[in-house]
Amino acid sequence: MNRIEHTFQQLKRAKRKAFIAFITAGDPDLDTTQKLVLGLEAVGVDIIELGIPFSDPLADGPTIQASYVRALKKKTTVVKILQTVKKLRTQTSIPIALMSSYDPILRFGEAKFIQACKQSGVDGLIIPDLPPEEAENLRRLAQLQDIATIFFVAPTSKDERIKANTKASSGFVYYVSLTGVTGTRQAVSEAVVKQIRHIKGFTNKPICAGFGISTPQQVKDIGRAADGIIVGSAIVKAIEQNKGNNVVSAVSRYVRLLLKSLN
């Protein structure tokens, strides 16, 4: 069974919600990325999203875009990221999903990329600019290797789109909790909770909410309805603000604070 699916089964039995942490691979460097994954697991993170840096991402705001620039300046590549995941697999079995624009995957070659993901120990793929209708071959290849393919539902999604994207998703469904790009927000609308409950009428798969979540209160509020919370920009910002030897401990403290509000 896929590690992501297994994790959600365990969490459901324990009546807990998933905390999913996004970090950019290679920011500030891949050695630190490896340490951050282990540090985040140690404080209770359930799933890691590793962002593959790209020069022209679709849905990422200024914080994550800046982290991509920093990672690219360090010559971070898809191959090096996969090597880092493979190293991590000697130390941890935490589920790891790669979040990437489609262009790096297309350049790598879909079949070659999926095979490399399998060999490295990747558990899932999140590709914001690849809708299910254009992802049939990638989904088929991923399914053969027991790699989850995770698709998005947005606040503007009509019921027909919700049905299609939840059906195509495996592992979990990624609910975009706001319109626009990634980035921290001060408030979360009650409409987010209402929409998550509406989506659950279409699927039994876990619904995890991301985009704009950065405070304990937001985690608590959205956690009432979602099966998991995804925090990205706020963690990336904490990494940037704590460059140096204390980055892992500083980021871990921040995430621990958010985790206390989830379950």
CB burial string 73-91: b at 16+ within 10 A, e below: eeebbbeebbebbeebeee
* 49: annotated active-site residue: yes
Greatest alpha-carbon pair distance for the chain in Å reads 49
Dig out the tokens for 6 from the structure. Answer: 């297994």
Say which residues have a Cβ less than 8 Å from residue 243's Cβ, sequence separation at least 6. Answer: 28
β-pairing verdict for 173-176 and 207-210: parallel
Tell me whether residue 110 is exposed, middle or buried, using C-beta atoms within 10 angstroms of its C-beta: 0 to 12, 13 to 18, 19 or more: middle
* 240: annotated active-site residue: no
Dig out the tokens for 38 from the structure. Answer: 């282990």
Say which residues have a Cβ less than 8 Å from residue 36's Cβ, sequence separation at least 6. Answer: 23, 239, 247, 248, 251
**Pick the catalytic residue: 27, 41, 60, 221?**
60
Q: Measured between alpha carbons, how far is 137 from 90 in angstroms, rounded to an integer?
A: 30
**Pick the catalytic residue: 41, 49, 221, 227?**
49
* Residues with catalytic roles: 49, 60
